Every structure is written in C-alpha cells, then in structure tokens.
Amino acid sequence: MNENVIEVSNLTKRFGHFTAVDHITFNVKRGEIFGFLGANGAGKTTAMQMLCGISLPTEGKGTVAGFDIIKENEKIKRNIGYMSQKFSLYEDLKVWENIRLFGGIYGLSDKVIAEKTDELLEKLNFQHERNTLVKYLPLGWKQKLAFSVAIFHEPNIVFLDEPTGGVDPAMRRQFWEMIYSASDRGITVFVTTHYMDEAEYCNRVSIMVDGHIDALDSPSTLRSQFNTESMDEVFRQLARKAKRAD
Amino acid sequence: MIEVKDLHKSYGRHGKANALNGITFTVKKGEIFGVIGPDGAGKSSLFRILASLILPDSGTVTINGFEVIKDYQKIRQIIGYMPGRFSLYQDLSVEENLKFFATLFNTTIEENYYLIKDIYQQIEPFKNRRAGALSGGMKQKLALSCALIHKPEILILDEPTTGVDPVSRKEFWDMLDRLKEQGITILVSTAYMDEASRCDRIALILEGKFIGSNTPQGIIDDYSEILWSVIGGKMSTLLSVLRNHPKVKSSFAFGDKLHITVKEGLQTFDLKQYLLNKGFNNVCIDPIQPTIEDCFMALTS
C-alpha cells in the first residue's frame, strides 16, 4: 500500500529570468494527506499547476496518478480532483446544476450522476438547498460542496488550493473531517493552507521557500527538528530566510 | 469614535442569511476592535453600512460625530475602507492605484507618505507592476496603502488577511499596532483566532447578533466549560470514539491535540482508561486553559 501517487524529481519552472519553482523533488503516498506550505509567492501555485497538468515544467520530470506530467498531462486532468478557494463552483448555477456539470465533465453517465447527487446532498444535509444558486450559499457551505464536487468522480488524488481561506474555525474543522474521511477511503489529499493548526492535521508537510522545498516531514518530526512546539514557529524560521520579495 | 445603535438590515428574499438583527456597540478612539464570526453572520453587511455603502433598515451609526446616512459625504472623508474582496484597479500599476486614491481625496502621495511608508516601502520596488499581477500579500499591502493615503481617522478592514501567510499576517498586524499608536481607530474582521487576541476588544457575531463583546481576556474569563486536551493515536478515530462517550460534550481538533469539553463528574483518569480499553496507546489527557478559538467553538456550536 506504499505506492506513490505523486513522484516528481527536479521539477522546475522558469518565467523568463525568474525561476518560480526551482528543482523540487518529492513523493506522495496513496491515501496520504500532504500539506504543501509556503509563504505567498514562494511558488506553491506554480508547482501545483504543473502537478495538475495545467502547466508544463521547464525542467525535471514526474508522474501524478501514474501519468507522466509532460507527455500525459491531459490524462492527469481527467484523473484528479481540484478545488481552490478562488474558484471552484459556478455562482450563477444552482447546487444540483454544478454537480451535474462537473459530473458530466468527468464523463459520468446521467444515471450515475442522478444517483450520486441524491446521495451527496443527503450526506451533506443539503437536500433543501438543491435548487439554491451557489452564490447564495455561505462560504463555508460552498467550500464543503466544492470539495464534494471535486471528489465526485472518485479521483485517486485531489488537489486543494487554500480550501479554508477565510472560513471560520468551526466550519474549518467540519471541512477537515471531510478530508479525513476522503483519505480513509484511499483518496490522496494534496492541500495548501496558511493555517498552521491545519498543517498539524497532515501526515506530512513540505515548506517551500523561494521556489525550493526547504523542509519535508511529519509535523511532529519538523517540530523537533526545529526545536519548537509549534508549526507556526517552524514556518517562521524557514520563511525568514526568504530573499524573494513576497 | 464609532457608535452603533440597534442596527437592522435584511436583503429581501435571501435576507435571512445575511441580516443584521439589532447590533449595538461602541468603538473608542485609537482602539482596535475585532469582529469575529462565521461566514454569512453579517460582518460584511455591518462594515458596508459603516462605510456608507449600503443603507440599514433601521438603527443609527455615528462616526466621530457624523451620522452615516445624513453626513455620508463627510464620513467618506474620514474613513479608510478595505473591502473583503480585492477591489483595486487590476490594470493600473501599483503606483497608479495609489496616486488615483490620493487624487480622489485631493491629496498627494508625498503629503501623507509618512503614514504609509512602513507598508508601501515593501511594495515600492514593484511600483510599475500591474496590481492584478501582484501576489496575495502584496495586494493586501497595496490595498491598505490606498485605504490610508487620505489620512483617515477610522480604518474599516474587512478580513484584510484572508489568504495571507503567517509571517506576512504578523507584519500586517504590527503595522496596525503602529497605526493605532498614531490615534487611528481600527475596526477589523478576521477568521484567524490568533489575530482576535491582538485586538483591544472583540465581538463575536452570529446570525446578525453580537453574542459576546469584551476584551480577549474577558471573553476567555467568561468561558464556563470544563476543557481538556487529549493526545493518543490517529486523530480521526480518536475524534469519533470521544464523540461517542456519553460524558464528552464536544470534541474538536486543535493542531496536534484534541480539545474536548466534558460534563461535570468525569475524571481524566476515567477517560484515559476508557481510551486505553478502546485500544489507544500513549494517551495523555490534561485540563487546559481555553483560547479565544475554544470560546468561539463553544459560542457557535
């Protein structure tokens, strides 16, 4: 069960003279919750775009869900789930229409979509919101729905880009409990966050500084490595070294 | 000084989720007042009313003696407002945005440069970059600079640090402290509980009502639950096992530990034995002092 769902080595992305991601190498195991941390501008988003098959690396190689990130990037897109804080659902579509749309994009049949929609709405306790336009949902609800939609097609791996930004403490915990249950079902979760308590909820975390991965291990190992009791302090010690302006 | 009395606001058909249901509070000059609450609790509506952008259904707001409806033109001169969503001009450069806001208020960047110097210096090397091409942290710094360039007496900041990394957030709050020292009154909302602790006073807002308003220490002193921290084994399994215990009232993850509230009469020893019997190893249970986040969880659940 220790197979790697993500394997990348020396992954690099340059924009002109600027090296956004600078030779990063790491693996992520099946079912793992992997926290991908870093300051604003450290290169997280660019790295994630390469892993998702949206952007091709300038250098380096890797596989995601068993597909080559350069030659098979289209296949990667079909076999992963993706959700970001900035964009995840269509605001002017109803709850069921969003589910229908994303289910269709990932090639599920009408019958499967209909069955799974009922199941999903019931699980989220969302039945009464079936016909609500997404823009009228509170942010926390929207994020829970967006996450469910991102894993609706049962991908091997789901990428979450700051899924809980601006979400209150109670809702954040509900969201993380959804992440746990996805991980228990064998879905690998690759997540970025600026909340350091959430870093503790990951099996392993990496911390990016100026395009490099400067630390990668379980939260408890990192805390003892950096001789501190909080991930916040680990993050601060590393981010302080950053030379690149935010 | 901000004085808000019995503020009500609803939005027609979908009003229920966003309404303000009678909000009353006062913010003193030079105070940092934090508003904390779940999404959709009414934070942004409250701030928009205070910024004279939308009208309340009833109730009054006065800011430094000016009434927010009648004297809205005056209000707009003395407040600086940073909306939750980045709303500067994406196609203008950093410097052009700042110049634009200065011009609107009949002033110049040079005149009030001392006020924004701390913040603006950090983005000045990128002054020719389009605002739309800035990273999250830089956008926040530019937005704050634009909100400050006319030397407002009151700053209204709607979730200014959402999406900002921990180090930049701390810098941002250090700047707020310095602005406060200059006598600027700051009203700010946040979803980060560590920031709540940095306010002079905070109010918890839920469904359009303040359910508690005090100093951070006062909020903590009012906490009445029995609170323990628990470690021992896989967090998700531990969570569900604890939730099934009849004397455990609530159970939530807090970083590397769980925080639980329990009914009176339960001893840490009993619970430890219960968990050991359920197959958990290295169980460690300790009574702890609540944080603001524990108070928030207790008040909202």
Confidence (pLDDT) at A41: 83
* Closest by Cβ to A169, choosing from B159, B236, B297: B297
* Per-residue pLDDT tens over the stretch A224-239: 999 998 999 999 999 8
Distance from the Cα of A193 to chain B's closest Cα (Å) equals: 8
Kindly list the residues from chain B whose CB atom is less than 8 angstroms away from the CB atom of residue A40. 135-138, 163-165, 168
Confidence (pLDDT) at B171: 86
* Per-residue pLDDT tens over the stretch B60-84: 999 999 999 999 999 999 999 999 8
Structural domain boundaries, residue B53: 2-216
Give the span between the Cα atoms of A111 and A187, in whole angstroms.
23
Residue of B nearest to A39 (CA): B165
B166 and B255 assigned to the same domain: no
Kindly list the residues from chain B whose CB atom is less than 8 angstroms away from the CB atom of residue A201. 235, 253
B231 and B113 assigned to the same domain: no
B192/A195 Cβ within 8 A? yes
* Closest by Cβ to A165, choosing from B37, B135, B163: B163
The answer to whether residue B130 scores a pLDDT higher than 80 is yes
Q: Which of B16, B35, B140, B165 to mutate to test the interface with A (most CBs of A within 10 A)?
A: B165
The answer to whether residue A89 scores a pLDDT higher than 90 is yes
Confidence (pLDDT) at B18: 55
Confidence (pLDDT) at B199: 97
A85/B159 Cβ within 8 A? no
Give the span between the Cα atoms of B276 and B264, in whole angstroms.
21
**Is A188 inside any structural domain?**
yes
Confidence (pLDDT) at B15: 46
Q: pLDDT-based confidence at A2, cuts 50/70/90?
A: low
Residue of A nearest to B135 (CA): A41
Alpha-carbon Rg for chain A, nearest whole angstrom, is 18
B163/A85 Cβ within 8 A? yes
Kindly list the residues from chain B whose CB atom is less than 8 angstroms away from the CB atom of residue A223. 256
The answer to whether residue A1 scores a pLDDT higher than 50 is no
User: Which burial class, exposed, middle or buried, applies to A163 when counting CB atoms under 10 A from its CB (0-12, 13-18, 19+)?
Assistant: buried
B165/A239 Cβ within 8 A? yes
User: Residue A209 maps to which CATH number?
Assistant: 3.40.50.300
B151 and B22 assigned to the same domain: yes
**Is A133 inside any structural domain?**
no
- Average pLDDT of span A191-197: 93
Residue of B nearest to A136 (CA): B14
Confidence (pLDDT) at B118: 84
According to DSSP, the residues that pair with B62 across neighbouring strands are B3, B67
Q: Which of these ranges, A23-32, A53-62, B202-211, has the smallest mean pLDDT?
A: B202-211
User: Residue B277 maps to which CATH number?
Assistant: 3.30.70.2070
B269 and B165 assigned to the same domain: no
* Per-residue pLDDT tens over the stretch B93-115: 999 999 999 999 999 999 999 98
B208 and B236 assigned to the same domain: no
Confidence (pLDDT) at B258: 94
Residue with tokens 């220790």: A2
Q: Are B176 and B101 in contact (CB under 8 A)?
A: no
**Is A130 inside any structural domain?**
no
Q: pLDDT-based confidence at B122, cuts 50/70/90?
A: confident
**Is A227 inside any structural domain?**
yes
Structural domain boundaries, residue A23: 4-86+159-239
How many Cβ atoms are within 10 Å of B277's Cβ, its own excluded? Answer: 8
- Average pLDDT of span A173-202: 93
B83 and B127 assigned to the same domain: yes
Give the span between the Cα atoms of B107 and B144, in whole angstroms.
16
This model's pTM is above 0.90: no
Confidence (pLDDT) at B37: 83
B12 and B54 assigned to the same domain: yes
Task: Provide the domain count of chain A.
Answer: 1
Task: Provide the domain count of chain B.
Answer: 2
The answer to whether residue A246 scores a pLDDT higher than 70 is no
Chain A interface residues (partner B, CB cutoff 8 A): 38-41, 85, 136, 138-140, 162, 165-171, 173, 176-177, 180-181, 184, 194-197, 200-201, 219-220, 223, 230-232, 235-236, 239-240, 245-246
The answer to whether residue A208 scores a pLDDT higher than 70 is yes
Judged by DSSP in three states, A170 sits in helix
Query: Among residues B216, B246, B262, which one ends one of the domains?
Result: B216
B279 and B133 assigned to the same domain: no
B165/A40 Cβ within 8 A? yes
Question: Quick one: which of B160, B146, B16, B137 has its CA closest to B85?
Answer: B160
Confidence (pLDDT) at B165: 86
B10 and B96 assigned to the same domain: yes
Residue with tokens 């003696």: B65
The answer to whether residue B206 scores a pLDDT higher than 80 is yes
Average pLDDT for chain B: 91
User: Residue B72 maps to which CATH number?
Assistant: 3.40.50.300
**Is A42 inside any structural domain?**
yes
